[in-house]
Chains A and B, each alone.
Chain A
Amino acid sequence: MSFKLNSNIEREIKESAGVQKGQRRVAEQVGEHARRFASQAKAPWIPRKGHKNDPIVVKGNRVYNTDHGWHLVEFGSKNSPIWAPLRRAIRAAGLKDRSK
């Protein structure tokens, strides 16, 4: 019996319902941690329309900080402390940033 290599296997696994569901569940956990860290940083800061109370949004397997001041809160500046709610949430959920 011969086997043919399926060059699409990685994409097919990523798009499978089970993996998608698992990724959404992990994203929701990251979102919850991000909300906690954002709340410690006194979020919202400069709220976007429609996100007055909660700047953290989870869409599918992605987590967004929708606030207009997100970059100042995530990375800090001369005058702003670094709160890093998204990066800290990734670790709090037990995930690791991918090395570059």
Chain B
Amino acid sequence: MSEPLIPDGEALLAGYLRNHSDIEALEARVAGKTPSSQTQPWVRVTQLDADNEATSKPEWLVAYLFQIDCYAGEDSMEAHTGQAEASVLSRTVRAALAAMPESDHDDAVVTSVRFTGHGRFPDPDYEPARERYILDATVHAHP
């Protein structure tokens, strides 16, 4: 019998956000890397860590640490509304994630979502620097 795997954190989070109606309404893409087309806003999900929750049996409840970059699109940057667009996107993502424990997910049960950072860090690799809000979230999930 093969051992059960912990949930794929990035796939879980990105899939949830991608199918969330509030994110779709903003026409934002959700990806694991910088998308090739950057005219519309987008969300980049990166798993920074996944460690065992001390109060749980080993390899059951996992505390995932995510960085979620919420970028403004090129169109809004040209219209000088990039900061507002990135801000709305980040707050929409935050609200969607906060509701994650109440939703059903394939191959995982999410028990809690906590935010440990939510700052504005424009990306200096663009000219002009692209508006971006960064959310740090800790997501507890088990198979």
Contact among B69, B117, B121 for A100, CB-based, below 8 A: B117
DSSP class of A's interface residues: helix, strand, loop or mixed? loop
Residues of chain A within 8 A (CB-CB) of B117 are: 97, 100
Do the beta carbons of B125 and A80 come within 8 Å of each other?
yes
Do the beta carbons of B115 and A100 come within 8 Å of each other?
yes
Q: Count contacts on A: residues with CB < 8 A to the other chain.
A: 18
> Once the chains are docked, how many angstroms separate the CA of A78 from the CA of B123?
7
Contact flags B35-69 to A (C-beta < 8 A → 1, else 0): 00000000000101101000000000000010101
Residues of chain B within 8 A (CB-CB) of A84 are: 48, 67
> Once the chains are docked, how many angstroms separate the CA of A82 from the CA of B123?
12
Contact flags A67-88 to B (C-beta < 8 A → 1, else 0): 0000110011111101010011
Residues of chain A within 8 A (CB-CB) of B51 are: 91
> How close is A41's CB to chain B, nearest CB, in angstroms?
12
> How close is A9's CB to chain B, nearest CB, in angstroms?
27
Do the beta carbons of B123 and A87 come within 8 Å of each other?
no
Do the beta carbons of B121 and A71 come within 8 Å of each other?
yes
In the assembled complex, 8 residue pairs joining A and B whose CB atoms fall closer than 8 Å, in A order, are: A78-B125, A84-B67, A88-B48, A88-B49, A96-B138, A97-B116, A98-B116, A99-B115
Do the beta carbons of B124 and A77 come within 8 Å of each other?
yes
Residues of chain A within 8 A (CB-CB) of B114 are: 99
Residues of chain A within 8 A (CB-CB) of B121 are: 71, 75
> Once the chains are docked, how many angstroms separate the CA of A73 from the CA of B113?
25
Residues of chain B within 8 A (CB-CB) of A71 are: 121
